[in-house]
Amino acid sequence: MDYLPLFHNLRGKRCLVVGGGAVGTRKAGVLLEAGARVRVVAPQISAELRAHPEVEMIEARFEPAHLDDAVLVIAATNDRAVNSQVSEQAQARGIPINAVDDPELCTVIMPAILDRSPLMVAFSSGGASPVLTRMMRGKLEAVIPQNYKRLAAFAERFRETVKQRVTNPPKRRLFWEDVLEGVIAEKVLTGDEAGAEALLQQRLDSEDNVLHGEVYLVGAGPGDPDLLTFRALRLMQKADVVVYDNLVSKPIVEMTRRDAERIFVGKKRADHTLRQEEINALLVRLAKEGKRVLRLKGGDPFIFGRGGEEIETLAAEGIPFQVVPGITAASGVASYAGIPLTHRDHAQACVFVTGHLKDGTMNLDWELLARPRQTVVVYMGLHGLDTLCAKLIEHGLPDSTPIAIVQQGTTQNQRVLTGTLATLPAIAEREKPQAPTLIIIGGVVTLREKLSWFHPQGTA
């Protein structure tokens, strides 16, 4: 370890920045955020820096006297000789010195900072690669979103109360782990601090009571793991149990917590490992056992995902839940196929419809679907393709209307078949696309030839 990472309290302390250009301005801003009293010395000082009247500005070349009463110095000029002089004088006085992008002149390194005050994370490569440290900070931005500020502040607010009520240190640690990983934390992160405080008080009043678990109804998107939301990823790493469908891709399932129990509930066409009512009951039972349950569904849970049915049951049973939207297949798959769902020259409306109704029929509103200048997206329509095309033609759409089948869209198994209402059934019979598929109907399909951009490995 080349550097010992420390967090300094600079509130009210004098800090010196030598350099009044863009870099000096940026460093002064960071010090101001930390509550420091900032002095800037430079022959010329930027207009942006002058907009801070609380900064002491000295328009002059650096002199050793400028170090008086400083507890930290930053050399931020574009003249190495000046930076070297600043470093030498600061070290002679025992003052920590940071020379921007010049580790040889530094006794301290300014890290890349992820600020979730009071939670702070700092990254440093010891000056070896500032770009890499910024990249790593960017990655962690996805894991620790802005609302973690609330959680850290909530924990700070109740720290002393919990310490007084839970006097055994090991038990107190377990208490906080449960709070910061469970329902209470989720309420804070979603803005319900009043509800979180009530649950925390309930837990303190009866420490032996086990709180109910919670269900996270999470949309996994159409297949590509890169399309998951930050919030989905966070909850996937927290869940004790994962209940997932056939439409959730294997790489996404593998991103859930390694030690979580995984329960596959099927949901293929006409082949359900568990009936919907059994899945609803399973979610209730697991939550009442105090577990954090991730209900992972392909696409978006509220678009042909039966998410509404599941949370109706949870609400009736008093089970806490939250819903995380996902990119629905219509949007994600169409984008990866190079087919815009709307376009001023082709479609001013877009209709989503399921080709497999609850009773197993395909009894749809054909007059609505056969209207011109719109895009129709059909979920679960592959096995009724012949009926779909015939009915649309029967109700007025030209048999030359463009139509596409997208197989396993957004994944490396994506394949797109295009044709017309008259020709696509025969094409599908010959090519035998594999579920899951999405059907897109309308003039926008003709744009695919120009707009196709996603080419799975091994395809042109």
pLDDT of residue 125: 81
Q: Which of 283, 305, 327 is the last residue of a domain?
A: 327
Contact 299, 249 (CB under 8 A): no
8-state DSSP, 128:
S
- Which one of 224, 240, 245, 300 is the catalytic residue? 245
Is 142 among the domain residues?
A: no
Verify that 409 and 377 share a domain, yes or no: yes
Q: Considering its fold, how many domains does the chain have in total?
A: 4
CATH number of the domain at 106, please.
Answer: 3.40.50.720
Least confident of 85-89, 279-283, 354-358, 398-402: 354-358
- 390 and 280, same domain (yes or no): no
Of 173-177, 305-309, 384-388, which range is least confident?
173-177
CATH no. for residue 400? Answer: 3.30.950.10
Residues 365 and 431 in one domain: yes
DSSP 34-70: TT-EEEEE-SS--HHHHT-TTSEEE-S---GGGGTT-
Q: Same domain, yes or no, for 86 and 35?
A: yes
Out of 37-46, 72-81, 173-182, 414-423, least confident range:
173-182
352 shares its domain with 411: yes
* Residue 199 resides in a domain: yes
Sheet containing strand 437-441, strands side by side? 350-354, 375-379, 437-441, 402-407, 415-420
**Is 460 domain-assigned?**
no
**What is residue 318's predicted lDDT score, i.e. its pLDDT?**
92
pLDDT range class, residue 259, cuts 50, 70, 90: confident
Of residues 266 and 335, more confidence is placed in 335
In a domain, 404, yes or no: yes
Whole-number percent of the chain with pLDDT over 70: 95
Tell whether 280 is covered by a domain.
yes
Check whether residue 284 and residue 310 sit in a common domain: yes
Lowest mean pLDDT among 207-216, 312-321, 435-444: 207-216
Of the listed ranges 131-145, 278-292, 337-351, 418-432, the one predicted with least confidence: 131-145
Q: Which residue segment(s) compose the domain that 261 sits in?
A: 214-327
Catalogue the long-range contacts made by 36-45 (C-beta closer than 8 Å, 24 or more residues apart).
36/10, 36/11, 36/12, 36/72, 37/12, 37/13, 39/14, 39/15, 39/66, 39/70, 40/16, 41/16, 41/17, 41/66, 42/18, 42/77, 44/20, 45/20
For residue 272, the model assigns a pLDDT of 56
Same domain, 47 and 79: yes
Residues 239 and 319 grouped into a single domain: yes
Q: What CATH number is given to the structural domain containing 251?
A: 3.40.1010.10
Would you state the pLDDT for residue 143?
73
pLDDT for 209 beyond 50: no
Q: Which residue has the higher pLDDT, 277 or 202?
A: 277
β-pairing verdict for 56-58 and 72-75: unpaired
Answer yes or no: 245 catalytic.
yes
Does residue 184 surpass a pLDDT of 60? yes
Residue 299: the pLDDT is 95
- So what's the pLDDT on residue 1? 73
Whether 38 and 70 map to the same domain: the answer is: yes
Which tens digits make up the pLDDT trace of 361-378?
678 999 999 999 999 999
What is the rounded average pLDDT of the residues 233-258? 91
pLDDT for 442 equals 97
| 62 and 172 housed in the same domain | no
171 is catalytic: no
The pLDDT value recorded for residue 268 is 59
Question: Mean pLDDT, to the nearest integer, of 164-178?
Answer: 79
Torsion-angle region of residue 136: left (phi > 0), alpha (psi -120 to 50) or beta? alpha
pLDDT at 457: 76
Q: Does residue 359 have a pLDDT over 80?
A: no
Length of the chain (residues): 460
User: Are residues 221 and 240 located together in one domain of the fold?
Assistant: yes
pLDDT at 86: 97
- Residue 401 falls within a domain, yes or no? yes
Residue 195 identity (one-letter amino acid): G
pLDDT for the residue numbered 122: 85
Could you tell me if residue 130 is inside a domain? no
pLDDT band with cut points at 50, 70 and 90 for residue 211: low
Catalytic residue (one of 27, 267, 291, 391): 267
Based on the domain organization, do 49 and 104 belong to the same domain?
A: yes
CA distances from 98 to 123, 126, 206 (A): 15, 11, 52
The tokens describing 164, both together, are 């007084």
Split at pLDDT 50, 70, 90, the class of 145 is confident
Identify which of 237, 234, 236 has the alpha carbon closest to the alpha carbon of residue 296: 236
Angstrom distance (rounded) from CA 252 to CA 226? 9
Mean pLDDT taken over the chain: 90
